[in-house]
Every structure is written in structure tokens, then in C-alpha cells.
Structure 1
Amino acid sequence: MSSEIKISPALEKDHPMIGKLMVKVYSNLSGFPSPEEQPDYYNMLANIGEFTRKESVELLVAKQGDQLLGAVVYIGDMKDYSSGGTATLEKNAAGFRLLAVDPKARGLGVGKKLTIACIDQAKSEGRKQVVIHTTESMQVAWGMYEKMGFIRSEDLDFEQSGLPVFGFRLKL
């Protein structure tokens, strides 16, 4: 097996496996709502491939050989962001959501590689900023985003079923 981690668009046949990874990752976050508390959210994760029905949305995967290490939903036009708050009103911006890294692959830079792929895609599309959201349960990701230059943007904050969700921007 190749040791190189490669980022690429997901194949449709991989969508169910990616959905399972998303559910596994998010359901194991300390302090994050459980599948029983937010069944609609976890149904969305399980059916992550549905996001790709929107024109500006792409599901990216990180693989090492054939092994799925992580995935993220890239949104090239914020009108397709499909989240709460005001992010869908942002102009000339891209975003990404639902970044997940297999627990077995943590520490390998998978999350950073997926984030860089989204930033590079936004730059190639001529976007002026990248918008993201995270929660207090995602402190590792939160720290990574700040180290990469993302700045807290309280105007993007919202609550999802009582869960505070925090907005960030990266100017390009």
C-alpha cells in the first residue's frame, strides 16, 4: 500500500462508506449531540452523498491506497452551504462542512490536507474567502483552523437544536 495520502473527489460508490465514517466520527465527539438526540443530523451524515446533488458541492476524500482516512464537503457557492445562520448569504465565498477523519488516521495530517484542498479549490475558483463552522466539541479542528489563519466571525454563529455553532473566515 502506498504511504502517500491523496485527496480526490469521492466516487459515488464510496458515498455509503463515507457516510458511515461521518456517523462514527461525529457520534464519538465528546459533548456532541448523539444520534438519539439529533436523528435528522445523523441521517444527513449517513447520506452524505446527497450533498453532491447541488452543482457547487463536491465530496472530497483522503485515501492512503484504498483505505479511506477522511472526507469533507466542499461548497463552491455559499447558497448551497445548507447550514443555519447567515453563511448562505456570503458572496464570493466558498466553504466546507463536515470534515471527518477516521480516529485511526488522526495525527497524520489528514484534516489539514483536506482543509488545504478546500482552500486551494476556493482560490482556483477566484473566491475571496472560505467560511466554515465548528463547535466546542471539535477543539482539535478549531485549533487547526486558527493555526491555518481562520478568524472567528461571530456574525456567522448560530444554534442548531440548542447546540452553539461558531463561524470562522479565511480571507484569500
Structure 2
Amino acid sequence: MNSPNLPDLETRLRTIEDKLAIYELIASHPPSADTGHANYTLSVYREDGVFDRGPTLDGAKGARDIAAFIQRPEHDDAIRGGLAHFAGLPLIDLRGDVATVTSYLMIVHLDHEGEPRELPNHGVSTGYRIHRAVVNRWELERHDGRWMIAKRTLLPVDGSANHQDLLRKGLNDLHLA
């Protein structure tokens, strides 16, 4: 028998399934960006989706324009140069058919100018360089049984109040749920 304060098993299972689907959606971003898989990006953004990259980088509106980011020749150059998007574990605030996700992302690339170093059993490498660390706020909606990105806001971790406010908002949303 369920305690009056515990949701029923079906509700709890639905929450677990939703969070797993959201984890998979957020975890798919680095491999899709690092392979230039524009069709995948197109499939996970709402048609009217928004990609806000903050005040210093260009953004996009609409799934096609968002997918076009990873079709740019410059992005292909970055991929061929050893680009890697490295994501942190996301914080999920789930409320029915909408969710907000707060996460970190590092953009890392092969350091072609680094000094070659050998690591036993792992070969020689010039190392990698962290190009940028950012905070993401993903606003998701469930449509036809699957989670899709309605808006993604990306801000650099630069010591400003902007990125800290984005992080606080993620914590506050979760705490107020």
C-alpha cells in the first residue's frame, strides 16, 4: 500500500523514464556536434526552436538554422582539428510535459602546438586545450511522446553575473518544484 506522500508506481516509473530520455537527449549533443550530424540536430529541436549563444556569439531561430551551425565549413575545420564537446551531468527540473535542464559544457580541442608527451601504455600526444567552458539552460517540451528542445541558452563561464544567474535559476527551479 502506498504512503499518502509517495506517488504511485506508475507516476514514479514515468518520471524515471522521462529523466532517462532527457539524459539521452542532452548526452547526444556532443556526439552530434562533433560529427557534424545536422540531421540529428534538426530532429531534436522544435521547428520554432531557439539557440541563444549569449551576447558575444551569433544565435539562431528555427531548427533548420540551428542545424546549419554544424554544417558551416568552420565547424568542419574544428572537427577535423580534433574538436570535442565534453558535457557535465545535467540537472533536470521535470514538470509534466516540460523540463528545464542546467548543465556545463567544455569545448576541448587537440593542441596542435603542444609539446609531444608520452604516457605509458597510451602513446604520444600533444595534449588537449580547453577552449571554452559554458553553462547551458535547455528548455524542453514533450511532443508526440518524445522530448524536444524548445530553447537552448549557452553562456560562457566568465565570472559574470549572467552565467551565475543561469546556474542559480536551475537550482531555484529544482528547489521550487
TM-score by length of 2: 0.29
Q: Which has the larger radius of gyration?
A: 2
TM-score by length of 1: 0.30
Structure with higher strand content:
2
